A and B are shown apart, each in its own frame.
Chain A
Amino acid sequence: MKASQWIWLPAAVISTAAHATTYFSVEQVQRAIFPGASFSATSLPNAWRASNGGYVIVDRVVGKHEYITLAVGIHSNGTVKQIEIMDYKESYGYEVREAPWRAQFVGKSASSPLQLNGDITNISGATLSSRHVTDGVKRILQVYETSLKGKR
């Protein structure tokens, strides 16, 4: 095999380093959740109000080794529009980024149970990340309920 044929191997190795990735900045995640909206600051440093009445709240939860940063988009009626994992630095458990799993949170509100193995399906092999992201969304919805709901 010619040496040039091994040129693909570094590319393959580099591709495996993609786990420690920042997927969204705050501005990018705002645009991803509420496309076309403009955003203004709120009384909370990690929450922004969208021009359509919704909110984007960013928080971090404990991962296996490092923190996982997530963003929750909340409709003006207090239900979840979308969640996004903004960065993920673990060697596995990154299945929490998959759209079908994240879609389980759509429509949830502060009154939802948000229990892993209850209304949120666990990802076998990524249980710690699944639980902490679920707990993180629940905590963000509580923050919205107590600190942001109904405020202009």
Chain B
Amino acid sequence: MDKKFGAARPYITMSMRRCRSVALALLLAMFASAAGAEESMFAFVYTTDLLPQGKSEVEQWVTWRHQKNGGFYDQLEGRTEFEYGLTDRLQVALYANYNWTQAFHNGPFGATTPPEQFADYVVGPDDIFRASRFTGISGEAIYRILSPYTDPIGLALYTEPTIGKNFFELENKIILQKNFFDDLLTIAFNFTYAPEFRNLPGDDDPSVFNWQEETDANFALAASYRFIENWSAGFEFLNEREYNSFNFTHLSNSAYHLGPTLHFGGERFFFTATALWQMPWATVHSDTVPGTLVNGFVLDNDFEKFRFRLKAGYTF
């Protein structure tokens, strides 16, 4: 490893204070030169690539969710993340999550319906709903069992607890990755099992809140090819399923999203952008809420017609 510490040579003759400033500079240099980007190749799908031990990264996410049945509906989800490589196989992260939304006549039968992150708000059917909130804090740990560079396939396990007001979720993933063409083509598959509790106003008496259980069980596939240095492009495909239970019974929604992804990875900076359109392939299930399935589109809870996510990261 080559480190060019040009500032070190004259410190023998310096005062103690100057020595401390040099030491600070050296520490900064050591830390910064140890930092490295293990960027997100995809905006929604995870890969088994992790930060090496002792390296760190900051990421900013913005997700725009747009349009439901009618009226208007927009939601901007922000996430600010700090990642750290505990070992070469284990990466941990901490997220701050915050949302802004506006909705009007967007839900079943034209009723204004807040998005899932605001489901504990009491909103009238003809209200114009605008709100923002700090939705919670998330932790994350990813452990890589197999590497796609030295094993036939990459395999990693992921867990992410999130806690917020009236909300707790434990998102778990199995991550698979296979590379082709000298690692220029990356293909990743995720299975997600995410049980959650939400404390929601009752249907009969909105002043009485009840804890309700729900599970998101998702399948996701993505592929991206590095077509020139630093730039990759491909697609992401998601099948998101919601169950009103923890054991895959009472399926309420199943939606399919498909769209292109673009990734830039540089020495210290990366960004990834993916646009997803819901495919009109949804059907009625046992717990589908009347009025939420329109022309093959699921528009309940956190489903919408279009979503766009931008992730950007920087090493320091």
Contact = CB atoms under 8 A, between A and B. Distances in A.
A11 B267 contact: no
Greatest chain A CB density within 10 A among B22, B34, B149 is at B149
B204 interface: no
Contacts of B25: 8-9, 11-12
Contacts of B266: 65
20 contacts: A5-B18, A5-B21, A12-B25, A12-B29, A13-B32, A14-B6, A15-B6, A15-B7, A18-B33, A62-B183, A64-B265, A65-B265, A67-B229, A91-B37, A92-B52, A92-B55, A98-B1, A125-B53, A125-B88, A135-B182
Interface string B245-271: 000000000000000000001111000
Contacts of A6: 21
Interface string B27-68: 011001111110000000000000011010000000000000
A145 B28 CA distance: 47
Interface in B124-179: 147, 149-150
Contacts of A91: 35-37, 267-268, 315
B26 interface: yes
Contacts of B55: 92, 125
A116 interface: yes
A65 B25 CA distance: 28
Given A91-B267, A92-B55, A8 B182 contact: no
A132 interface: yes
> How extensive is the interface on chain A, given as a class?
35 or more
B230 interface: yes
Interface residues of B, number: 41
Given A127-B150, A131-B150, 19 more contacts: A8-B22, A8-B24, A8-B25, A9-B21, A12-B29, A15-B6, A15-B29, A16-B32, A62-B183, A89-B267, A92-B36, A92-B55, A98-B1, A116-B150, A117-B150, A125-B52, A125-B85, A127-B147, A127-B149
Q: Which 7 A-B pairs have the closest CB atoms?
A: A125-B52, A92-B36, A8-B25, A12-B25, A16-B32, A12-B29, A5-B21
Contacts of B4: 15, 18
Given A117-B150, A125-B88, A132-B183, A19 B33 contact: yes
B129 to A, nearest CB: 43
B180 interface: no
A93 B32 CA distance: 14
Contacts of A128: 149, 183
Contacts of B147: 127
Interface in B69-123: 85, 88
A62 B226 CA distance: 10
